[in-house]
Amino acid sequence: MKTLIGYLFAAAVGALATLLWLNQTTRREISQDFAAAEIQRVAKAFSAEQVIVFNYKHKRSDLISTAQVSILGKARVFAGFDLSKHLRVIVDQKKRRVTVELGQPEIVGVDVFDQAYQYEKDWLWNRFSEEDRDSIARGMRQSVLQQAASSPLLREARDSMRDFLAAMMRGHGYAADVQFVGLEPTPQSKG
């Protein structure tokens, strides 16, 4: 019985020593440069997305007639972060806390798909020109951007990025404080 208790005690001490050693090896310090590089590496692939249903109407009149179209469609809108505009990382080794400042998320892409022309009045003497078609495409895109800016997409991108960075820093043994600075973006797009 004494040998069994001895073996159990030795196993417990060994397990405790192993846990302490693992804790020391996983609690290494990270630098600000390392944290910034990790954030930049993963944030490029990070985005939030939302499908927006839209109804866009375009009308052009001249002296003789009117050309008009109503388009129902869907667009996939992507929001992300441009880290070249703002990224600041502060690592507090004593508190094991990383403070990350990012700019506001932006709409970085719009993919219009599933378009249905509901009503088109395009007569022989009043055809839609290439300029009309370009104007329709720009108008649809702007309509989608305005809907996206008023949707929860940008808030969801902030929340997701905050949760992601907190989990990433927690994996290194640090707490994360993620802040978003600057004004919220206006409905414009890069892509």
Residue (of 72, 73, 50, 35) closest to 160 by Cα position: 50
Question: Tokens at residue 76, please?
Answer: 């996939």
Question: Tokens at residue 44, please?
Answer: 């490029």
pLDDT in tens, 81-114: 888 888 899 999 899 999 999 999 988 889 988 8
Which phi and psi (to 5°) does residue 148 adopt? -65, -40
pLDDT in tens, 32-65: 677 777 776 666 556 788 999 998 888 877 777 6
Is the model more confident about 6 or about 121? 121
pLDDT reading at 149 higher than 80: yes
Residue (of 121, 138, 142) closest to 130 by Cα position: 138
Q: Per-domain residue ranges for the chain?
A: 1-29, 31-181
**Mean pLDDT to the nearest integer, 148-155:** 90
b/e code 98-132 from CB counts within 10 Å (16+ = b)? bbbebbbbbbbbbebeeeeeeeeeeeeebebeeeb
pLDDT at 22: 52
pLDDT at 49: 87
pLDDT in tens, 108-140: 889 988 888 776 665 555 567 788 888 888 998
pTM more than 0.85: no
pLDDT at 25: 47
CA distance 7 to 12: 9
